[in-house]
Chains A and B, each alone.
Chain A
């Protein structure tokens, strides 16, 4: 065992983990917000997330073929792509709620869940169909913005590319904005009221349907932003890419305490760090007996342990009280 090596790579692994964690946190918001309001797991969220990534890559490829990608500075390009991805995913989430969940709102709990899984399959293959007709491609590659790959040396052994800084900054900004929206504004109060008690909220003059749509819009938009950032960071997307990050993000939401917005962030970070450390260190620590392929087993074992001792997640589940 090479102790020197373990120490040398520690900060870099930490950085990798934080980056992955914020990615999970952004996706987890979609699960957690919807759960907070409806007590329902929106399993189509992983596809809402990847639709954002696809809208992003289509715009970037469009700009590239028009020769504009090099002409415009990177920040406006990134903002444009982010906003477009957020809009697309947000609207998609709202329409899914309208079509697939609202008619089932008073059905038994399992029914909308099955509907959500159906929507998820439908969207995967709809994206695949669209891309195979439109580009005859399965894997789409984010065009490289050279600036974003520029690396900044923190020390002689650790460096961070600009794109990772962007991802972390964007994630922090969005998490803060969302937290402020929910806790500091009138709309946020309405969302919390609907989460607490739909009937009473509606008696108070809150348009419950509108607030639920809004919740899906915000959760979807966060997912879309995460999709774009995911594409920028890891560059390759295909119609099924969303599934695994979606599942991990759902886990992160449960880990942090589902329905709880800061919980999603904490859960995402914990899971991201666990995964990064497991993947980088397992084979070094065990002399190759357990390799990086055990990262998920390791991460999920820790998750089980946490949930045994804190069944409501790290920060506690937020569930409406029943009268």
Chain B
């Protein structure tokens, strides 16, 4: 008896579900389908501030540029994924992403070490990835047709840093610490190699995964008394490192790559990092001509200042949408291959300047900056001084 009731209930539920379904379908039937843009960036954990910026920048660009596609009858949606800055999570997400046929472009990642294995997955279906932030050379040097970036490269960024250390800061000796990730160690090695070439004394080159207690690393640094310390890594580790260095009474100048570029650096390290230099392959929004409207829109919509890479994510998304439009000529949902190919054809005047990709997905001309932290107030991160600005063409792959 019980059995029958249960079955009866099931049938009723099924009937209800069927009855409700048609209610939803007419709306879908009007359109030609949904186009989804995925973001992959850390939305939780210590680097969430930057990852969130990538998501919001993408969101803003979709809202702004989806008009043409909607007129053509498509629905455009953002699907954010949280890669937690971990390669395994990024790859797992990537598998879900390629399984969703509606996703035609990925904007991400934040970390090169996550982007490289994840893009291997995107490549299986030729899904285009446009990275706002991955500066490690390997990202594009593999020559994949679906991998692009709107930011610069570490082999240039590291050199920009060492040139500045040798030329402007006039450092005699440098001590280099890195975080052992693809990105951090990579950029630190480029910095080291070029610093050696320039005749700087490299007093030490040390990797660490430590997040809280830097005493044992700092003690030899203090004894060696270098004129500059370079930390190849991201702010959530760099900030406590520099804070403890300053508390230990180390007088060296501090420097880092674009991973230091977040208001959280001063939130954590406070006074210790005022006057610190960092290089960036992504300019601060305030320095970009044409970004004014973007900053205002961003503040209005999300009631906070755009983090670094938000502007790059915005441009990357605009390019993705342009490419999808171009590939969708004829009013049909384009294939991933078509979108990937179209991305390489796009010429876009974005808020970070003219963007055009070369044969391996690097930006033909990328901007590089050296900035100096101006204040210990995180709210004033946007006011950091640009002490040097360069436009450098991407080097060709070394093979």
Enumerate chain A interface residues (CB-CB to B < 8 A): 5, 8-9, 12-13, 16-17, 19-20, 128, 138-139, 141, 144, 149, 151, 157, 159, 161, 230, 233-238, 241, 244-245, 275-280, 283-284, 288, 291-293, 295
For the complex with contacts A293-B180, A293-B208, 19 further pairs of A-B residues with Cβ separation under 8 Å are A5-B223, A12-B219, A13-B216, A17-B216, A20-B213, A139-B236, A139-B264, A141-B270, A151-B249, A235-B268, A236-B212, A236-B239, A277-B216, A279-B208, A280-B217, A291-B206, A291-B207, A292-B207, A292-B208
Smallest Cβ-Cβ distance to A19: which chain B residue: B215
Does A9 contact B249, Cβ atoms closer than 8 Å? Answer: no
- Give Cα distance in the complex from A284 to B48, angstroms: 36
- Give Cα distance in the complex from A292 to B264, angstroms: 26
- Give Cα distance in the complex from A5 to B240, angstroms: 25
- Give Cα distance in the complex from A161 to B247, angstroms: 8
Given the known inter-chain contacts A20-B215, A280-B216, please indicate yes or no for A235 contacting B240, CB distance below 8 A. yes
- Give Cα distance in the complex from A245 to B268, angstroms: 20
**Could you write out 27 A-B pairs with CB less than 8 Å apart?**
A5-B223, A9-B220, A9-B222, A16-B219, A20-B213, A128-B44, A138-B44, A139-B46, A139-B267, A141-B267, A141-B270, A234-B213, A235-B240, A235-B243, A235-B244, A236-B240, A236-B243, A238-B46, A241-B211, A241-B212, A276-B215, A278-B216, A279-B216, A283-B204, A291-B206, A292-B217, A293-B180
Decide yes or no whether B349 CB sits under 8 A from chain A. Answer: no
Does A138 contact B216, Cβ atoms closer than 8 Å? Answer: no
Contact pick for A276, options B211, B216, B247, B249, CB 8 Å: B216
- Give Cα distance in the complex from A236 to B272, angstroms: 14
Does B215 contact A138, Cβ atoms closer than 8 Å? Answer: no
Given the known inter-chain contacts A235-B243, A241-B211, A291-B207, please indicate yes or no for A284 contacting B216, CB distance below 8 A. no
In chain B, positions 13-64 with a C-beta closer than 8 Å to chain A are 44-46, 48
Query: Which residues does chain A contribute within 8 Å of B217, judged by CB atoms?
Result: 279-280, 292
| Distance to closest chain B CB from A117 (angstroms) | 20
Does B205 contact A139, Cβ atoms closer than 8 Å? Answer: no
Given the known inter-chain contacts A139-B268, A151-B249, A241-B211, please indicate yes or no for A234 contacting B240, CB distance below 8 A. yes
Q: Which of B180, B223, B236, B268: most chain A Cβ within 10 A?
A: B223
Smallest Cβ-Cβ distance to B224: which chain A residue: A5
| Distance to closest chain A CB from B84 (angstroms) | 11
- Give Cα distance in the complex from A139 to B263, angstroms: 13
Enumerate chain B interface residues (CB-CB to A < 8 A): 44-46, 48, 180, 204-209, 211-213, 215-217, 219-220, 222-224, 236, 239-240, 243-244, 247, 249, 264, 267-268, 270
| Distance to closest chain A CB from B239 (angstroms) | 7
Main secondary structure of the interface of A (DSSP, over half): helix
Smallest Cβ-Cβ distance to B217: which chain A residue: A292
Does A149 contact B220, Cβ atoms closer than 8 Å? Answer: no
Main secondary structure of the interface of B (DSSP, over half): helix
| Distance to closest chain A CB from B245 (angstroms) | 12
- Give Cα distance in the complex from A50 to B326, angstroms: 53
Does A283 contact B268, Cβ atoms closer than 8 Å? Answer: no
Does B220 contact A138, Cβ atoms closer than 8 Å? Answer: no
| Distance to closest chain A CB from B56 (angstroms) | 14
| Distance to closest chain A CB from B182 (angstroms) | 15
Q: Which of B206, B216, B217, B270: most chain A Cβ within 10 A?
A: B216
Does B223 contact A8, Cβ atoms closer than 8 Å? Answer: yes
Does B216 contact A292, Cβ atoms closer than 8 Å? Answer: yes
| Distance to closest chain B CB from A16 (angstroms) | 4
| Distance to closest chain A CB from B242 (angstroms) | 12
- Give Cα distance in the complex from A277 to B212, angstroms: 17
| Distance to closest chain A CB from B118 (angstroms) | 22
Smallest Cβ-Cβ distance to A238: which chain B residue: B46
Query: Which residues does chain B contribute within 8 Å of A235, judged by CB atoms?
Result: 240, 243-244, 268
- Give Cα distance in the complex from A276 to B212, angstroms: 13
Does B216 contact A236, Cβ atoms closer than 8 Å? Answer: no
Does A288 contact B223, Cβ atoms closer than 8 Å? Answer: no
Contact pick for B268, options A5, A13, A236, CB 8 Å: A236
Does A236 contact B211, Cβ atoms closer than 8 Å? Answer: yes
Smallest Cβ-Cβ distance to B177: which chain A residue: A292
Query: Which residues does chain B contribute within 8 Å of A19, judged by CB atoms?
Result: 215
Q: Which of B211, B236, B264, B270: most chain A Cβ within 10 A?
A: B211
| Distance to closest chain A CB from B174 (angstroms) | 14
Query: Which residues does chain A contribute within 8 Å of B219, judged by CB atoms?
Result: 9, 12-13, 16, 280
- Give Cα distance in the complex from A238 to B223, angstroms: 31
Query: Which residues does chain B contribute within 8 Å of A230, judged by CB atoms?
Result: 212
Given the known inter-chain contacts A141-B267, A234-B212, A288-B205, please indicate yes or no for A280 contacting B220, CB distance below 8 A. yes
Does A283 contact B249, Cβ atoms closer than 8 Å? Answer: no
- Give Cα distance in the complex from A173 to B287, angstroms: 55
Smallest Cβ-Cβ distance to A132: which chain B residue: B44
Query: Which residues does chain B contribute within 8 Å of A20, judged by CB atoms?
Result: 213, 215-216
Does A275 contact B216, Cβ atoms closer than 8 Å? Answer: yes
Q: Which of B206, B207, B212, B267: most chain A Cβ within 10 A?
A: B212
| Distance to closest chain A CB from B247 (angstroms) | 5
- Give Cα distance in the complex from A20 to B218, angstroms: 14
Smallest Cβ-Cβ distance to A241: which chain B residue: B212
Does B220 contact A284, Cβ atoms closer than 8 Å? Answer: yes
Does B220 contact A234, Cβ atoms closer than 8 Å? Answer: no
- Give Cα distance in the complex from A128 to B220, angstroms: 35
Q: Which 7 pairs across A and B sit closest by C-beta, in order of nearness?
A: A279-B216, A16-B215, A234-B212, A236-B240, A276-B216, A9-B223, A293-B207
- Give Cα distance in the complex from A317 to B222, angstroms: 40
Smallest Cβ-Cβ distance to A148: which chain B residue: B247
| Distance to closest chain B CB from A135 (angstroms) | 11
Query: Which residues does chain B contribute within 8 Å of A244, judged by CB atoms?
Result: 211
| Distance to closest chain A CB from B293 (angstroms) | 26
Query: Which residues does chain A contribute within 8 Å of B211, judged by CB atoms?
Result: 236, 241, 244
Smallest Cβ-Cβ distance to B48: which chain A residue: A138
| Distance to closest chain A CB from B206 (angstroms) | 5
Query: Which residues does chain A contribute within 8 Å of B247, judged by CB atoms?
Result: 149, 161
Query: Which residues does chain A contribute within 8 Å of B243, judged by CB atoms?
Result: 235-236
